[in-house]
Amino acid sequence: MSDAPSRPSSFAEPGFALPGLGLGVATAATQIEGGNADTNWHRWAAKPGRIADGSTPARAADHWERVGQDIALLGELGVKHYRMGLEWARLEPRPGEFDTAAVAHYRDELTRLRQAGIRPLVTLHHFNNPWWFERVGGWESPSALPTFARYVTRVLEELGDLVDDWVTINEPNVYATKGWLDGQWPPGVTNSFGRTLTVMQVMATAHVQTYQAIHAAFPQAQVGVANHLRVFAPQKRWNPVHQLSATSGRYLFQAALTRAFSQGRFLAPFVQPKGVEPGRYYDFQGINYYTRSSVKGLADGVASHVPVNDLGWEIYPQGLVEVARWTHQHYPGPIWITENGTADAADRFRSRFLYDHLRAIAGSGLPIERFYHWCFTDNFEWAEGEEPRFGLVALDYLTQQRTVRDSGRFYADVIAHGGVTAQAHARWVAGQAYPR
């Protein structure tokens, strides 16, 4: 599959080329598939008050039933790289029992993607646990690692011949802090710093073991974590307490964890797990980048008078390169931006957002090989429900009608040309400004 542009292009300013960058879109199983898989999230969302708009993942984008339509739409947009998740609870609805129909469904989806010239990047865990796993302690349980390993082994046996690129775990830091510190996500534990660290440590260990398992079965596979990285900035630049908050936030939320899963080196506050040897446990560094945090204590904050998206997250495109540069300094090798995108229901600044982030990549000099826009369609956005709109494709949740947004047309044009042409900039970007 070639990423070569289909037409010759002129990239006069304010356009720019993106040579060698594979452009794709990202999704996750629980956020788009719909249906009643018995997961931690289906159970969590069923209780009133937990999801901002009262929605649940049972509807989402009904992708499970509309795979063919969605692959056709990917083809229409010219997408060549597609990041998708597997719903563990569908594949293994009871401990140790694998569902042949679910396996067949994913085999069919992967086959159709490949036939359409679209290269799948498959995520094994994206915040979604089968309820039977969650019920006995989930990632805190002593049996978490062997249980996850059993699932991975079976996935490799059933689907491994159709997949070359793998994300083992999505955003272990977000999963742990939302579930055990903020308590806004299942299992809803608040302020337990110790348990948050335990979950991060177990997930990092699971990554190392999964990396080894995938390579044992498929030596040529490319494997990494989709690592949520953000820029931490002191709210007041010269305030020593704010500076300390930024430094410790950076270390505890992402730096120590990245070290653990990338090199198998578990520095304090983690503890070196038995059986994990230091090594290199990534073929690419996956980065999910969205925003910058402005901090003065432990809580996350947003600076005043900065551009923000619909969820109030600061829009800070240069931050993508800041976190990628940090990653590259510590963990050299290919970088894949496994997620980047924004909540913009009116589609009034998404094209500019995309342009600014891609432009930062183009000028970075870093070995960034892939870029996956989050999200392909609108999606179930966890505790925020269906309200935030991250899609290049708008979704009418009632009719399930898909409508490509202008930003989707812009991205399709970028894919077709292998960069942003001056014409595309004039048509889709020039008229857009960020809200403040």
Q: Which residues bind ligand IFM (CB under 6 A)?
A: 28, 31, 171, 288, 339, 374, 381
| Side chain identity at residue 193, one-letter code | F
**Pick from 422, 355, 428, 359: nearest CA to 15:** 422
Residue 280 tokens, joined: 């290199």
d(CA 31, CA 99): 21
Smallest gap from Cβ 28 to ligand IFM, in A, equals 5
Measuring CA to CA, how many Å separate 236 from each of 5, 11, 127, 296, 381? 45, 40, 34, 8, 31
When the beta carbons of 15 and 391 are compared against ligand IFM, the nearer one is 391
Smallest gap from Cβ 137 to ligand IFM, in A, equals 23
Smallest gap from Cβ 379 to ligand IFM, in A, equals 6
Smallest gap from Cβ 218 to ligand IFM, in A, equals 26
Q: Which stretches of 352-434 are assigned E, i.e. beta strand?
A: 368-374, 393-396, 401-404, 419-420
When the beta carbons of 339 and 344 are compared against ligand IFM, the nearer one is 339
Residue 255 tokens, joined: 């730096």
Helices (H), 131-192: 131-135, 144-159, 172-180
When the beta carbons of 203 and 420 are compared against ligand IFM, the nearer one is 203
What is the 8-class DSSP label of residue 272? P
Smallest gap from Cβ 2 to ligand IFM, in A, equals 29
d(CA 134, CA 30): 15
When the beta carbons of 3 and 344 are compared against ligand IFM, the nearer one is 344
When the beta carbons of 180 and 185 are compared against ligand IFM, the nearer one is 185
When the beta carbons of 263 and 379 are compared against ligand IFM, the nearer one is 379
Q: In whole angstroms, what separates CA 296 from the centre of its chain? A: 27
Smallest gap from Cβ 165 to ligand IFM, in A, equals 18
In sequence order, the β-bridge partners of residue 369 are: none
Q: Are 366 and 20 in contact (CB under 8 A)?
A: no
Smallest gap from Cβ 427 to ligand IFM, in A, equals 27
When the beta carbons of 283 and 339 are compared against ligand IFM, the nearer one is 339
Smallest gap from Cβ 46 to ligand IFM, in A, equals 19
When the beta carbons of 171 and 386 are compared against ligand IFM, the nearer one is 171
Number of other CB atoms surrounding residue 107 within 10 Å: 14
Tell me the CB-side half-sphere exposure of residue 313, using CA atoms within 13 A: 19
Q: What is the DSSP string of 291-347?
A: EEEEESSSS----TT--B-TT--B--THHHHHHHHHHHHHS-S-EEEEEE----TT-
